[in-house]
Amino acid sequence: MERVLVRGILYRHLAALKRRLPRRLKGIAGSGELTEEAEVTAQMRQKVAPLFPVVSATELSRVNLLIPAIDLEHLFGGYIAKFSLARRLAEMGIRTRIVTVDPNPPLARDWRNQVESYRQLDGLFDSVEIEFGRDGRQPLRLSPDDRFIATTWWTAHIASRLAKGSGSGRFLYMIQEYEPLTVPPGAWADLATESYDFEHVALFSTSILRSYFAEGRIGVYRDGVDEGDARSLVFDNAITPVAAPAPEALAKRNNPSLLFYGRPESHAARNLYEIGIEALRAAIDDGVFSDQWSFHGVGSTGGAEQIDLGNGRVLELAARTDQDSYARLLAEHDLGLALMDAPHPSLVPIEMASAGMIALTTTYGTSKTAEKLAAISDNLIAVSPDVASVAAGLSEAVGRIGEFESRSAAAEVAWSDDWNQALDDALIEQITGLLEVA
């Protein structure tokens, strides 16, 4: 009987969602239209389909941090932040559980060890529970006093329903980007935008991203700045630590090199891979780079390849690497190119700056400005997100490569590389206050 009731509720929810969807949607970055209505709506329904928990007064209360899945191939900085928040909550005595809401791909036997191999995640699963919400083995069991943290737009849809059934009626939204920019326009973007209308409090990644929401009166800021500030907190994701280079070490390098954060995948369109490649070609054609320069790329989830930059120059694009190898790679280069056409400043250009590189990135509206980024480090140069501006920025950056003293000094960025500082005890106490954890 319970299964029949669940199916009936689910059918009504999915039918209502299907009526809201257009027949066809445009793809990402001009890649064409998605498939027919039945397939598109199936994708959307799967994304926001509710979990059906069993709520029991005998269950111990927890903070449930909702994530899409545990996918070891795409464990980028945003996931590290989620796991780090779970770890810090547990260390402060809060019973914490990570709950996946997407069907999880098969995992290697040592997947826990692989997750815990990332910096400051050692022993994560000794203190934090894990529940795979879609594996079908058992229902998610909740206490009436459970609290929920959403970490993406579709986990916010799910968290909103769970919060209404137990807890305080609202959830904490960990916001690491303005996510309508990360999905196809149309109904996908509408669903992402809708997530900010749910009853929630917010934890923003960086004050720069928070200012974008404040300026646009989005989410917790819809009723003004004072209301938004009272209902939100901010943290800075810890960057990968790289020792600041000495001026003498920078001066000894014979052949300067450029490192491009190149992500050609369609889901990473906001990293402006094509604009970066075209700007490099334009700068090379204009004679910005001498013959001594070499060009390298990192960040792709595909295999290694060579990209023709014209005039006999080649970009060696390597596959994504582990954290330690990435830190060593940062320390070996002089100029960094890491573009981000979104309000979040991105950690990569800050990490490049901390390695003593002159790092070129992009601005976004009035919230992510060149002045705000330069306040983090004088090694950061920010330009408009177009080929001509990026090419001009490359020329400026090359002209500053010989400023070894200032590059070394600016490597001391105004940013933490320690998650215990990024999510310190005072901030965790404020977070539990927003969650109304007893």
Is residue 125 within 8 Å of 95, Cβ to Cβ?
no
Q: List C-alpha distances in Å: 31 to 25, 183, 272, 296, 432.
A: 11, 12, 14, 26, 43
Instruction: From 374, 377, 381, select the one nearest 398 (Cα to Cα).
Output: 381
Q: Residue 438 has what pLDDT?
A: 65
Q: Does domain 247-410 have CATH number 3.40.50.2000?
A: yes
Tell me the C-alpha distance between 278 and 276, whole Å. Answer: 6
Q: Residue 163 has what pLDDT?
A: 95
Q: Residue 41 has what pLDDT?
A: 64
pTM, full prediction: 0.89
Parts of the chain belonging to CATH 3.40.50.2000: 247-410
Tell me the C-alpha distance between 246 and 293, whole Å. Answer: 21
Query: Which one of 3.40.50.80, 3.30.1660.40, 3.10.180.10, 3.40.50.11090 gives the CATH number of domain 46-238+421-435?
Result: 3.40.50.11090
pLDDT in tens, 369-394: 999 999 999 999 999 999 999 999 99
Q: Residue 165 has what pLDDT?
A: 81
HEC string for 244-286: CCCHHHHHCCCCCEEEEECCCCHHHHHHCHHHHHHHHHHHHHC
Q: Residue 75 has what pLDDT?
A: 74
Kindly report the average pLDDT of the chain as a whole number: 89
Cβ-in-10-Å burial (0-12, 13-18, 19+) of 91 comes to middle
pLDDT in tens, 212-258: 999 999 999 999 999 999 999 999 999 999 999 999 999 999 899 99
Pairing, β 305-310 against β 313-319 = antiparallel
Is residue 408 within 8 Å of 220, Cβ to Cβ?
no
pLDDT in tens, 31-51: 333 333 334 468 888 899 999
Parts of the chain belonging to CATH 3.40.50.11090: 46-238+421-435
Whether 7 shows a pLDDT value over 80: the answer reads no
Structure tokens at 92: 């402060």
Whether 21 shows a pLDDT value over 50: the answer reads no
Is residue 115 within 8 Å of 75, Cβ to Cβ?
yes
Pairing, β 380-383 against β 358-362 = parallel
pLDDT in tens, 287-322: 999 999 999 999 877 767 899 999 999 999 987 778
